[in-house]
Structure 1
Amino acid sequence: MTSGFAHSANLLSNKDKYLSNNNIELNSENNLVLNKKQTVCLPNNNDNYTKINNLFLKKCSVLHVPANTTLEVDNITIAPGARLIVDGKLIVTNDVDMKKYSVLNISSRGNVDIEGNFTAYRHIYFLVTGKIRVYGDFLLMN
């Protein structure tokens, strides 16, 4: 559901055609950086697949992975106050790093596979009704 995101921008299925007018683009290393207070929803197309190297959610930014969508990422860093909402499938081939006051929300339809380590610092919000698998270390830091 993307109705809650009034100012969301859609990413096109071709990763080279991110909407530049919303400052959403991959840098030369195939990294996606969401700037402060930026809200983005991946397109909700059947069997939509996006692969990027690194995902950086800066302070108070939001990324929504809707149902029927797969996002594959090497590493994810979620800054304080940022939110990652997963209704589809998220595959992380390396590590996830959640800073304090960040949010990971996996809905009942969501499915997250983390092949590396999951590290979360104090005061995180971890809302899971779907599935999450961590094949590396699951670390909750104080």
Structure 2
Amino acid sequence: MTKRELEQQRLANANKFIRKIGDCGRRFFHHEGRYAELSLDGRGRVWFTDEYSGRRIYTHRDGRWQGFTHGGTLKILVEVFRDHIKKGRQLHHLYFDPDRFRGFGTHPWGYPDGELILLKHAGLTLGIVAPAPGEDAS
């Protein structure tokens, strides 16, 4: 597979994962039937289309993103998706682990434990979440 084909495959998987996030819990990345979406331009740069504002946002810029209607935690997640698309980097296997934040209350997203586990499984299946040492991704 060429680099561009790998990026396209990872892009498709990241968009599937965004839809999964939008279908669970507090439905981040979803608004009135619309989902946020990532895209690649002709030069291979990653863009994010915000589901609420409809704005197309360049993800390689530091600082505040004009038109991005989510907070810093989800901005960082979009940056992780960008790095996954471009470089194949994966989310840490504990990111969606409900027990990880027990001493601090709940997961920062406020998603129910069962839905965090569903998201972790979807992320593993799509290759976005790294398996834990000794864990199978499927």
Structure ranking higher on relative contact order (CA contacts 8 Å, 6+ apart): 2
Q: Which structure: larger Rg?
A: 2
More strand by share: 1
